[in-house]
Every structure is written in C-alpha cells, then in structure tokens.
Amino acid sequence: MRRSHQAQIEPRLAQLSQSIAQQIQALDAEEHSFIEQSAVAIAQLQSTIAPDVRCVLGEVAFRTQMTDGFSTQSRLASDKPELSADFDTWILHDLPFPVVLMEHRADVDDWAYNDENHYTEYRYELVITMGNWTTSIGAAIAQLSPGNPMHYRRCEFEQQQYELAYQLKPTHRWNEPPTPQFPELDWSIEQQEQLRQELSCVLAFVGDLLMLHPLVATFRYPMRR
C-alpha cells in the first residue's frame, strides 16, 4: 500500500517541482528584459538631462514633486527650503552657465550603520559642474534593514533634498564670516544660499529619477509560520 501510494505521489511532486522551476525561469527572463529596457530608457533620459539639469524646472512631474514632496508633519519640516511657488522666478534661471550632470552612479553600502544595527543602504552619487565649480554629492534612496521580517524602506524626496542641501553648504571656520561659494557669480551670500536650496531640489529630483529601483514603497519578507 505504501509503495503504491509513493509511486503515485513522487511523479506528481516531480512534475510540480519542474513546473515551479519553469515559472521561476520565466519570471527571471521577464525581470531581466524589464531591467534592460528600463536601463535603456534611463540612459536616454540622462543624455537629455545631463547638459543642463535645469531643464526639469518646467516639467509637470518636478513641479508636482515640489508641491507634494514636503510633509508638514516631518521632522525635517523646520528645514524646508523657503522657495517661491512660481518656478519661473527661481534664481537658477539667472545662472550664466549650465548646471551639467557629469556623472550619475548607483552605490550600495552593505555596512551602513545607525544607532541600532547595520543595514544595507542604496544611494546615488552625482558629479555636477557649474562654470569652474565642480562637486560630488549623493543621497540615500532606500534602506534594507535586517530582522524577521526584513524591512525595505524608500527614502522620501524631502530626505534626499535635505541631505543634498547639507552637502552643498560651504565650510568655513567658526570665527570667520562665510565667503562666497561661487566666486564667478557676483551674487550676495543670501542669493547663493537660495541657489543652493533650489539646486538641491533639482538634484534630488534628477538623482531619484535616474535611479533604477523597484517601484515599491515598502517590502517585508514573509514570516514563516
């Protein structure tokens, strides 16, 4: 009886295993095709944006992001940049040279650490040039924390903007007055601060836009019962 039952079950298990393997292969092929197509589209988009990132200022997607991307309940709300709602009046338009995106690259830090534990951090790094001024800055776009279940979290736009704005701040000694960061511009310290705030918003939008990542807000690995 047992042998007869086993003879009936084993072929079915083998058939089920083969079916699952075929489905996984099909999903892998579909995912690979999607990633390839996305990479091509992003490369084309980057070639359009790179000569001057200010081209996104007139895009509906950017303006919507600026309208919806800052939460009044966020811990960063007090650091929200004071920017005009009329994007046509932004000081970025007055630059005598383009804001060139020289490089955009993805980076993964498997040893990121906060006050609680290590985690994996996904970042983008940007190299930009304005006239004779060049800098390299970046921001985190997602975090994958260990645990049961694991937790995947996307970094919001305002977090990315805050991180970039902080990196754009000039450094100077505490007992010295700030000096102009962009000597080519005959602009006041206040105007240059406004420029940094506007630029950080544009770069946060562009950095996120050109990043190839899953379009999910949260992912939790299913727990075994």
Measure the CA–CA gap between 41 and 207, rounded to whole angstroms.
15
Query: pTM of the entire structure?
Result: 0.77
CA distance 140 to 159: 8
41 and 63 inside one domain:
no
User: What residues make up the domain containing 24?
Assistant: 1-49
Asked if residue 55 lies in contact with residue 48, where contact means CB atoms within 8 angstroms, the answer is yes
The total of structural domains in the chain comes to: 2
Q: Are 221 and 145 in contact (CB under 8 A)?
A: no
Domain co-membership, 24 together with 77? no
Instruction: Let me know if residue 1 belongs to a domain.
Output: yes
What is the Cα–Cα distance from 204 to 215, expressed in whole angstroms? 17
161 located within any domain: yes
In terms of domains, do 63 and 132 share one? Answer: yes
Tell me whether residue 225 is in a domain.
Answer: no
**62 and 33 fall within a common domain:** no
**123 in the same domain as 18:** no
Q: Which of 176, 159, 107, 163 is nearest to 137 (CA)?
A: 163
225 residues of the chain, pLDDT tens digit each: 556 666 677 888 888 888 888 888 888 788 777 778 877 888 899 999 999 999 999 999 999 998 886 654 444 444 556 788 889 999 999 999 999 999 999 888 888 877 777 888 899 999 999 988 999 999 999 888 877 677 788 888 999 999 999 999 877 666 666 666 777 888 888 888 899 999 999 999 999 999 876 444 444 444 443
Neighbouring residues of 117: CB distance < 8 A, sequence distance ≥ 6: 145, 146
